[in-house]
């Protein structure tokens, strides 16, 4: 079930809005579907999906300034916290619920993932891989909390509070009985499966219950 059906198992991926994870997400999302983006920022991905794939776009964002920019560009965003912000949505309100580069910032990641799979038929989760060699080397050789391209913050100003590797996520999915419909591992604009947990900076998963 893994990424075998993916045409881009190896090689360069496109970018959308300067992000290769966005390109993958937009490829996976069916045109005209209902999409909820958690931690949607100023709504750039949602606006792109609405414009180019005709999706019904909704978002949740905690930062007032970003919420304002998102609404100003016509995206219906809810100003709130994703740790509890999904409660009011009925089951399967959405076809896809996206969590891009935010899982490691949530207070209750497992709760958020479960909620995503409750309100959405599919969940798309992209996160920076804490198993990447640069993280391992940084800790092993320098003995310092890693500061890398994907984890660019000093420990005292990082919003990241839950660190995970690709293997961690796969193990959790197995434990919880979630189906991994697709998975893609990225290093810059290069995607590949070889030693992904060591070589990939970002992983993107498509899940269902």
Partner 1 sequence: MIVDTQYVRFDSLPLDCGATLSPVDVAYETYGTLNKERTNAILILHAFSGDAHAAGLSRTDGKPGWWDNMIGPGKAFDTERYFVICSNVLGGCRGTTGPSSINPATGRPYGLSFPVITISDMVRLQKKLVDHLGIERLLAVCGGSMGGMQALEWAVAYPEMVVSAIPIATTARSSAQQIAFNEVGRQAIMADPDWNGGDYYDKQPPARGLAVARMIGHITFMSDESMRVKFGRRLRQKEEFGFDFSVDFEVESYLRYRGSQFVNRFDANSYLYLTKAMDYFDLTNGTGSLVEAFRNVRARFLVISFTSDWLYPSYQSLEIVNALRALNRDVAYCEIPSNYGHDAFLVDIAEQSEIIRGFLASTYRMVSST
Q: Which residues bind partner 1 (CB under 8 A)?
A: 56, 58, 64, 67-69, 71-80, 88-90, 93
Phi-psi region of 35 (alpha: psi -120 to 50; beta: other; left: phi over 0): beta
| Nearest to partner 1 of 84, 176 (CB atom) | 84
| Residue the block writes with tokens 């409750």 | 118
| Nearest to partner 1 of 22, 78 (CB atom) | 78
Shortest Å distance, C-beta 71 to partner 1: 5
| Nearest to partner 1 of 76, 176 (CB atom) | 76
Half-sphere exposure of 207 (CA within 13 A, CB side): 27
| Nearest to partner 1 of 79, 162 (CB atom) | 79
User: Exposed, middle or buried: residue 134 (CB in 10 Å: 0-12, 13-18, 19+)?
Assistant: middle
Shortest Å distance, C-beta 90 to partner 1: 6
Shortest Å distance, C-beta 153 to partner 1: 24
Residue 185: phi and psi, rounded to 5, are: -120, 130
């Amino acid at each position: 079930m893994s990424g075998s059906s993916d045409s881009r198992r190896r090689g360069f991926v496109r970018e959308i809005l300067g992000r290769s994870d966005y390109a993958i997400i937009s490829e996976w999302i069916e045109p005209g579907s209902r999409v909820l983006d958690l931690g949607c920022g100023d709504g750039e991905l949602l606006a792109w999906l609405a414009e180019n794939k005709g999706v019904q776009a909704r978002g949740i964002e905690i930062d007032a300034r970003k919420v304002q920019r998102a609404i100003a560009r016509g995206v219906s965003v809810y100003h709130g916290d994703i740790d509890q912000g999904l409660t009011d949505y009925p089951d399967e309100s959405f076809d896809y619920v996206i969590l891009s580069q935010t899982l490691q910032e949530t207070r209750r990641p497992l709760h958020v993932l479960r909620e995503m799979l409750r309100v959405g038929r599919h969940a798309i989760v992209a996160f920076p891989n804490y198993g990447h060699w640069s993280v391992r080397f940084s800790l092993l050789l320098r003995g310092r909390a890693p500061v890398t391209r994907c984890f660019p913050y000093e420990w005292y100003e990082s919003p990241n509070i839950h660190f995970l590797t690709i293997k961690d996520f796969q193990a959790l999915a197995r434990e919880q009985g979630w189906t991994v419909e697709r998975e893609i591992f990225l290093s810059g604009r290069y995607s590949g499966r070889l030693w992904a947990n060591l070589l990939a900076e970002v992983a993107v998963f498509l899940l269902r219950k």
